[in-house]
Structure 1
Amino acid sequence: MPEPFQLFQRTGSSKWWVRFSIRGQGQIRKSLDTTDEAEANQRARKVYYEALYRTENGLNATVKTFGDMAEEFIAKIEREVERGERKKEQGEKFPGIIRRYMVGYFGDRAMDSITDRDIDAYVEWRKDYWSKGPGRDVAFITYERAGRQIRRPITKRDPPTLSRQRNEAVLLRTLLRFAAKQGYIKQAAIPEVEVVKAPDVPRPSFSADEFGRLVETSMARMSDPKLNEHVRRDRAILHAYMMIAAFTGCRPTELKGMNWGDVLGYREGRNKPLRDRDIRLRVRGKGKARTFVPQEAALLWFDTLWMLWVRAMKRDPLDAEPVFATTAGNRLDSVKKSLAELLKACNLLTDHRGVRRTSYSFRHFYISQQLIAGVDIFILARNTGTSSDMIHRFYADVKLELMKDHLRPEWKLLVTV
């Protein structure tokens, strides 16, 4: 009975190869890495029946190495970036992480040979990569950003932060699931990748008194008669920024990307009395978009930004132009430096734990104040684009304040206190 495979030698080579076909898999060719025909025949038989077994069990006929599979996954990421299905930053960051660490560790390992134990060993190896591992002798790291090659020195050799460990674990888990979908490993055999859970730490916010002090100081700095108009404008924009952030709960990325067309109802109501005006905000951030209701106190500061735009550009802004803009009409990149100066002036740069406040602190102030005012957590979560679970986890101290009356019931004691 003839063998279900054929042996052959390529022109100019004495090594034997095998070729065969399996239904649904096409023709498969593989080097047997021997010049002995009898040994080649034995190896060919093993290759064929292994491929047949894999096919019958729902896998690809050929074994895939981790490195080859990783390149397929990277190509998929790049296609998704081109189609706008992934963020551009992911297309720039993920390939380097995958090749340096994951392929650097698993390399030519067969995909279906990687176990939970291997994943655990990889995680430990990754933590020590820059201190005891392959990176200990690397002085510079090269990566691509916006199409440019950037080279920077390695200044820290600490283990990756919990946040980075978590992000890389999610990436590795996604890569392994991709391998299963491609038939390189069985779905039930996907190695377990534990995602590191960062401890819940209350966000650095402001108390009502601290926010009042911040506003008062900002107003005084903005109205200083000694200022030139350029500095006065910058301080006015900063003040509008923190007031809008504090009374809307927007994330910094959402404020940065906000255009005038996203301030719904603003243009139509500009000439109406304040009591008759109302707006909604449409924002984009964290891969999602939402429309929500801001506090009325934010409205006046959109007026300030509109006035500053008209003064600089000599015309009204278009719907597609940014709310926070430079004198040239370009999107304002950041208020980080000017905000830090204001916080220092108020002695509010850090909270009582020594945690540094940022522009994100206004969002936390908004959520805290809404909770204290009794706004339903589910509705608040929808309005701020987060989950009620996140609010429960990170605003426990505020919830205690809400429950203070329940924590002070009248006790009926038999003794005099």
Structure 2
Amino acid sequence: MTTKTAVPAVNKPVKNRLTPIAESIERIRGYPSTLIVYKTNASKYYWVRFFFNGKNRIKTTKSESSKDAKTFAIQFYKDALLDVSASRKSNKRNAFSVVANQFFETTERNSNSKTYKSDINRYRQNILPFFKQQDIETITNAQLNEFVEELHKTKIKPATIKHHIVVLRKIMKYAIANQLMPNLPVFPRITGRLQTSVKRDYLTKDEYEKVVKTAEKLAAAKVKVRTQTITLQMKYLIQFMVNSFIRPSDLRVLKHKHIKKRGEGRDAWLTLNHPATKTNANEVQAMPATVGIYASLVQQLKDEKLPTKPDDYVFFPQIRENRTTAMEVISRLFKKIIEESKIEEKTGKKITLYGLRHTAIMFRLIIGNVDTLVLSRNARTSQNMIDKFYASHLTTDQVRRQLHNIPYKEVIKKISTKKVTAKKTSATTKTSSKTIQK
């Protein structure tokens, strides 16, 4: 009889709790395949990982949302590239990131602030991630064409692509001037319309009132969009934008310290001195209605137990650390309000958050009888932009009252006076003539 010997069980190796859960791994389109977000058994949050400069870089996103985790991952990736550029860790003197970093350092003091910010933003967002640590003198026409194709894939407009090429050319000319490359490669020609004049939709007075009432209704019902509840903050945000001409991007930076009340009683109004988010930082003279709107907003923030100190943000101060997220939340809530109002469905219009600025400017053009130079200065834009984009909807019928707003009574009175005087003169002449004849 043969006796079977018991075989001891072999314990399977226990996986590291930080090892990515295979089915949770997600890659980000348009970025290196090594850039991933994933979950582990050690945390409820998503993590980000990518291989760079010979090692894996790993960090928690502190978010349970896949979308938010990907946004964090992209920024983490870009920051890593910029860190290398800033610290000049590359051994290559001619590394693109090193040369570009030197270029921006030398031009910062002598460049127009607006131009410098625009150039460095395009460099950080798209140019650096593409060329990275490549030797600048090895960049070819073929690579430049590939770069342009990548920009086209992201649906960037031809005019903006052209600006990216301008920045690239500036960096390479700096390299040539400092004997870091022999000559410029042949740059690709950017085809397509570089600028389009598009009529931007706005709200009529009745539509504007409908949107405000819809915001009130959804706030009363405490309707949620994802995890965010619509409150009266959105109603006051809509009213404030239409009465202050500000851009959506201004909501990102506007703080209580940037708002000052001027005048008293019926003559009171608000002035805004927030940082420029697109063009200039002219002081904005808001409409008198903003006084009451702002007071109601502040009270609403207090009711929600949200901060209202001078250095706190005016809109959605609860999302302080990441104002990009704040803007995404505001856009989603506004989209819900517009959907519920049925305005787009009934009119075929496309109403975006930017449409509130268009509405503000159109109201002044139609109702206010304001000179476009004055309006453009106060709205931090140009007369050309007012005419090309905002006023493109303006019809002669809408401004008929302004065209007819001439003091006719005074003109007619003057004409009548002249006729009476002429008649009297004529009568006097005839009388004098008769007297002479006699």
Normalising by structure 1, we get a TM-score of 0.57
CA distance 1:161–1:312, shift in 2 (3 Å): closer
Query: Are residues 1:364 and 2:355 paired?
Result: no
Residue 308 of structure 1: how far off its partner (Å): 2.4
Cα deviation, 1:257-313, whole Å, max 9, x if unaligned, reads 1111111127xx8xx6x4253321112212642211111112212112211233344
**How does 1:257-268 map onto structure 2 within 5 Å?**
257-265=253-261
- Root mean square deviation of aligned Cα: 4.6
Aligned residue identity for 1:200: S
Question: What corresponds to 1:137 in structure 2?
Answer: none
Distance 1:303 1:275 in 2: 15
- Given the superposition, is the C-alpha separation of residues 191 and 362 from structure 1 closer, same or farther in structure 2, using an over 3 Å criterion? same
Pick the structure with greater CA Rg.
2
Aligned partner of residue 335 in structure 1, secondary structure = helix
Q: Describe the shift of the 1:219–1:251 C-alpha distance in structure 2 as closer, same or farther (beyond 3 A).
A: same
**AA in 1 matched with 2:196:** P
Change (3 A) 1:194 1:329: closer
Taking the TM superposition and a 5 Å limit, the aligned residue runs for 1:161-240 are: 161=155, 163=157, 165-181=158-174, 182-183=176-177, 196-223=193-220, 234-240=230-236
Letter in 1 for 2:160: N
Contact 1:204 1:361 in 2 (8 A): yes
Instruction: Give the 3 Å change call, closer, same or farther, for CA 199–104 of structure 1 in structure 2.
Output: farther
Asked if 2 retains the 8 angstrom alpha-carbon contact of 1:180 and 1:190, the reply is no
Of the three residues 274, 283, 291, the one matched with 2:274 is 283
Return closer, same or farther for 1:393/1:400 CA change in 2, 3 Å cut-off: farther
Unaligned runs of 5+ residues in structure 2 are 1-92, 405-438
TM-score normalised according to structure 2 size: 0.54
Contact kept? 2:272, 2:285, Cα under 8 Å = yes
Q: CA deviation at 1:376?
A: 0.8
CA contact (8 A) 1:290 1:385 kept: yes
Aligned pairs for 1:14-413 (under 5 A) are 68=94, 70-76=96-102, 79=105, 86=117, 90=122, 92-96=124-128, 98-99=130-131, 107-109=138-140, 128=149, 159-161=153-155, 163=157, 165-181=158-174, 182-183=176-177, 196-223=193-220, 234-265=230-261, 274-275=265-266, 277-284=268-275, 285-286=277-278, 288-313=280-305, 317-326=308-317, 332-333=326-327, 334-349=329-344, 352-353=347-348, 355=350, 357-373=351-367, 374-394=369-389, 395-402=391-398
Shift of residue 385 of structure 1?
Answer: 0.7
> Is the Cα contact below 8 Å between 1:259 and 1:323 reproduced in 2?
yes
How many residues of Structure 1 are paired with residues of Structure 2 in the alignment?
293
Q: Which amino acid aligns with 1:244?
A: F
CA distance in 2, matches of 1:227, 1:86: 39
1:313·1:328 contact (CA, 8 Å) conserved in 2? Answer: no
| In structure 1, distance between residues paired with 2:279 and 2:358 | 20
Q: What is the one-letter code of the residue matched to 2:209?
A: G
Separation in structure 1 between the aligned mates of residue 150 and residue 359 of structure 2, nearest angstrom: 39
1:217-243, Cα deviation, whole Å (9 max, x unpaired): 22333445x889xx9984200000000
How many Å separate the matches in 2 of 1:247 and 1:222? 21
The answer to whether the 8 Å contact 1:309/1:329 transfers is no
Please give the alpha-carbon distance, in whole angstroms, between the structure 1 residues aligned to 2:129 and 2:207: 42
Give identity over the alignment, percent: 14
